[in-house]
Structure 1
Amino acid sequence: MNTLLSIETRNAVLHTMATLLDKERAAIVSINKKDLEAYKGDDISMFDRLKADDKKVDEMIAAAKHLASQGDPVGVERFSFKHDNGMQVYNKTASFGTILIIYESRPDVTVEAAGIAFKSGNKILLKGGKESLNSNLKIVELWHQALKQHNASTDWVEYLQFNRTETQAFLEKPTQKVDLIVPRGGERLIAFVKEHATCPVIISGRGNNFVYVEKEADLDIAIDVIINGKSKISACNAVDKVLIDENLQDKEAFINKLISKLNTTKIQVLGDATIAKNHNLEQISSNEVWYEEFLDYKIVVGEIASNSDAIAMINKYAGGHSSAIITKEIEVAKVFMENVDTAVVYHNASTRFTDGGQLGLGGELAISTDKLHQRGPIGLQHLVTNKWYVHGNGQVRS
């Protein structure tokens, strides 16, 4: 077991990591180009996430610096109690121990998610996808350089070069202690990890996010929020479904404008039976489509009778990630936000803000659709468990 690194050492490693990422920027971009050229799959969202260009390297550097500037999440007092017998009791945050992050395609996870787990005092095991192997190995090499520079063991960040069979074997019978697993990727990866893991798993769930345009919506806001929600199709916070209130004023003109704007951005618009018929769109093949996360240039527009029907529809079909209501009515928004069962709910704002950096956490390990132990973006302060410290001078219980 690795002894907890001091906060000074953890911060110094992160600062050095930021410096090395900048210094090795050209090498990272060049190696990543080889990964991009070698990718032969047809998953456009995976290809998009695989990219580590100059802008992405800037984001990695910013993430490392920001993490270094934040307070220590370990050892924070959450509760204290003085027992009648004189014992002093404290509950403080504690690191998990070892965290395994299994992810697809995104080399930036090798910095950002690993950085959050490292700053939280954990040993990191990384298992990236084969499509980003070269980029990941280069970044892990920088982690090791940064650790060595501050006399810390390179064991703190370890890359597992496992194929699917080896990964399954490791999940079922780990050859070292693993306290928590975080899968970052599509539904198949998450299902695979859940099926085989023998320790707790934080589910960084699917998107399939809904926007409900309520009858008292500001139509300009509605258009902006929906278009922005579809601006990055590979993101788990992208919008896939739009529900339009059947009593919306100027409904047909609004839908025509929305379809036209979406088509301009190359988004294919599908409709439910009503919308497809009235607006000459392709109709969804079945209600099962409402369950789908697209990660693609398509969106479904449907008609709904009321706020309560929209809530019921979202709670049935959405992925538990993000949802939005567009309305001028505060009370209507309040009912929607209190009753929709998603990790993040929005009133008159884009679902694209579901992101640790955007919601004030500085970054995120994952966006959890679980309800235990943390929901939504998991930031530095959430990636801890807790421990009880009890100080006595010989007390025994009678």
Structure 2
Amino acid sequence: MNTLLSIEKRNAVLLKMAVLLEQERQALININKLDLEGYSGDDISMYDRLKVDNSKVDEMITSVTHLASQEDPVGVERFSFNHDNGMQVYNKTASFGTVMIIYESRPDVTVEAAGIAFKSGNKILLKGGKESLRSNLKIVELWHQALKDHEASADWVEYLKFNRTETQAFLEKPSQKVDLIVPRGGERLIAFVKQHATCPVIISGRGNNFVYVHEAADIDIAIDVIMNGKSKISACNAVDKVLIDENLPNKSEFVKTLISKLKAFKIEVLGDETISKNHSVEAITSNDIWYEEFLDYKILIGEIASNQDAIAMINTYSGGHSSVIVTIDQEEAKLFMENVDTAAVYHNASTRFTDGGQLGLGGELAISTDKLHQRGPIGLQHLVTNKWYVHGHGQTR
């Protein structure tokens, strides 16, 4: 077992990682080009996540630099109690031990997610996708160099070159202790990990996020929030569904404007029975499509009778990630926000802010759609468990 590194050493390794990423910037971009050339799929969002360019390297450097500046999440006192018998009792945060991160097509995860887990005092096991193998191995090489430069064992970051069968075998019967698994990827990957893992798993579920345009909506805000929500189709915080209140004034004009703006950005617009009939867009053939996370240039617009109906609809179909109400009515916003069952709820703002960096966490390991042990973006301060420290002088019960 690796002994917990001091916070000074953990921070020094992170800062060295920033220096190495800058030094090896061009080499990493060139290696990533080979991964991009080798990618044979036609999933545009996957390709987008696989690509490493200058701005992606900048983000990696920013993330490790920022992590080094954050408070140590380990050993934070959460509760203390003086027992009648004189014992001193403390509850403090503690690292999990070993965190395994299983992910697809995202070399930035090899820096950012590993960095968060490392700063929280954990050993990291990385299992990336074959499509990003060259990029990932280059980044792991940099981790090992940063660790060695500060007399820390390279074991703190380990890359597992497993195929699917080997991964399944490892999940079911790990050859070393694993305390937590974080799958980062699509629903198939998450289902696979959940099915086979023998230790706790943080579920980063599907997006499928909804915007409800209430009858008292500010129309300009509604357009901006929807368009911005569709501005990055590969993100789990993208908007896929729009519900328009049937009592919205100038409803027809609003829908027409919205559709033309979406189409100008090459976004395919689908409609429920009412919208497709009145605005000549393609009609959906089954309600099952309301469950789908698109990750594509595609959006579905429907009409809804009321706020209560919108809440029920979202709670039935959404992925439990993010939802928005656009309204100037504070009471209606409160009703929506308290009753919609998603990790993040917005009033007059874009779902694109469901992101650890944007919500003040500095960065994130994943966005959890589970309710235990943390919901929504999981930042540095959440990637800890806890431990009881009890100090006595011979007390017995």
What TM-score range do you get, normalising by the shorter chain?
over 0.9
2:68 counterpart residue number? 68
Alpha-carbon distance between aligned partners in 1 of 2:360 and 2:292, rounded to the nearest angstrom: 29
1:365 counterpart residue number? 365
Alpha-carbon distance between aligned partners in 1 of 2:250 and 2:37, rounded to the nearest angstrom: 48
1:395 counterpart residue number? 395
Deviations 1:166-192 (A, max 9, x none): 000000000000000000000000000
2:213 counterpart residue number? 213
Q: Which amino acid aligns with 1:33?
A: K
Alpha-carbon distance between aligned partners in 2 of 1:103 and 1:77, rounded to the nearest angstrom: 32
The alpha carbon displacement at 1:377 in A equals: 0.2
The alpha carbon displacement at 1:44 in A equals: 1.0
TM-score, normalization: structure 1?
A: 0.99
What pairs up with 1:1-398 in 2 under 5 angstroms?
1-397=1-397
Alpha-carbon distance between aligned partners in 2 of 1:138 and 1:366, rounded to the nearest angstrom: 23
SS in 1 for 2:381: helix
Deviations 1:271-306 (A, max 9, x none): 001100000010112000000000000000000000
Alpha-carbon distance between aligned partners in 1 of 2:186 and 2:80, rounded to the nearest angstrom: 42
The alpha carbon displacement at 1:4 in A equals: 0.2
Runs of 4+ in 1 over 2 A off after TM superposition: none
Alpha-carbon distance between aligned partners in 1 of 2:219 and 2:148, rounded to the nearest angstrom: 56
Q: Which amino acid aligns with 1:259?
A: I
SS in 2 for 1:248: coil
Q: Which amino acid aligns with 1:346?
A: Y
User: How many residues were matched structurally?
Assistant: 397
Q: Which amino acid aligns with 2:378?
A: I
TM-score, normalization: structure 2?
A: 1.00
Alpha-carbon distance between aligned partners in 1 of 2:230 and 2:58, rounded to the nearest angstrom: 24
RMSD across aligned C-alpha pairs, in angstroms?
A: 0.4
Q: Which amino acid aligns with 2:243?
A: L
Alpha-carbon distance between aligned partners in 1 of 2:193 and 2:203, rounded to the nearest angstrom: 9
Alpha-carbon distance between aligned partners in 1 of 2:285 and 2:377, rounded to the nearest angstrom: 33
Alpha-carbon distance between aligned partners in 2 of 1:179 and 1:47, rounded to the nearest angstrom: 31
Q: Which amino acid aligns with 1:74?
A: V
Runs of at least 5 residues in structure 1 that lack an aligned partner in the other structure? none
